[in-house]
Amino acid sequence: MSMSDAFKDMERDNRIPLFFLVFFFALIAWGVYYIAAYTPEISGWSQYDVLQKEVEAQKKAAAATVVKENPYEFDPKAIAEGKGLYAEHCAGCHGGDLKGEVGPDLTAHLTYGETDDVKYESIAGGRPDGMPAFGDRLGRDRIWKVLSYVDSVREYKAKP
């Protein structure tokens, strides 16, 4: 009897442990479930849909916390910071003195309205035919600070 025949005789009665069989078939079942559950063509599930729902929920939460009046209106620190932000982001179009170069004069009547929330929306969302949106670049607080600076200059110019 050769060595390989002796080995075969020795292993003939050894069965695969039940744990390995159960684990093997459970792994196959889990793989089939995973493919069925997370393949968009089969289940319709998509990470993009989940992400879109999260973004919409964040937008709704942000819209619910919209401030109608400028929280930094008479804050000297905010006005000073707003002046720097204005010089960096706005003066190229509206001029250093707010009189307008490419963009409109900010010391005169504003086309879209004079209220704080309308002015905020003009900066954050932009306006057609020229005014770009700065909401993503500046963020909520910095937009309000720019408005506090603009309003402080407008009030100063409006006084006799």
In a domain, 71, yes or no: no
State the pLDDT confidence band at 127, using cuts at 50, 70 and 90: confident
160 has a pLDDT exceeding 60: no
Q: In terms of domains, do 26 and 51 share one?
A: yes
The residue assigned the tokens 């506090």 is: 148
Q: In terms of domains, do 34 and 104 share one?
A: no
- Average of pLDDT values for 56-85? 83
Burial code (b: 16+ CB inside 10 Å, e: under 16) for 30-41 equals: eeeeeeeeeeee
| Dihedral angle over CA of 136, 141, 86, 138, nearest 10 | -10
Structural domains in the chain (count): 2
Q: In terms of domains, do 48 and 103 share one?
A: no
**Cα gap 23→39, rounded to integer Å:** 24
**Prediction pTM value:** 0.58
State the pLDDT confidence band at 27, using cuts at 50, 70 and 90: very high
Q: In terms of domains, do 92 and 22 share one?
A: no
Q: Give me 68's structure tokens.
A: 């109608």
Q: In terms of domains, do 91 and 40 share one?
A: no
- Average of pLDDT values for 101-113? 82
Domain containing residue 81: CATH number: 1.10.760.10
**9 or 54, higher pLDDT:** 54
Please say whether the dihedral angle defined by the alpha carbons of residues 89, 91, 97 and 103, taken in this order, is positive or negative. Answer: negative
Q: In terms of domains, do 83 and 42 share one?
A: no
**Cα gap 33→42, rounded to integer Å:** 11
Residue 61's pLDDT is what? Answer: 80
* Residue-number span of the structural domain to which 132 is assigned: 76-158
Q: In terms of domains, do 58 and 82 share one?
A: no
Q: In terms of domains, do 96 and 59 share one?
A: no
Q: In terms of domains, do 119 and 151 share one?
A: yes
**Cα gap 121→143, rounded to integer Å:** 9
8 has a pLDDT exceeding 80: no
State the pLDDT confidence band at 64, using cuts at 50, 70 and 90: low
Q: In terms of domains, do 48 and 112 share one?
A: no
- How many C-beta atoms lie closer than 10 Å to residue 126's C-beta? 14
**44 or 149, higher pLDDT:** 149
Q: In terms of domains, do 35 and 59 share one?
A: yes
**Cα gap 112→27, rounded to integer Å:** 63
64 membership: H or E segment, kind and range = helix 47-64
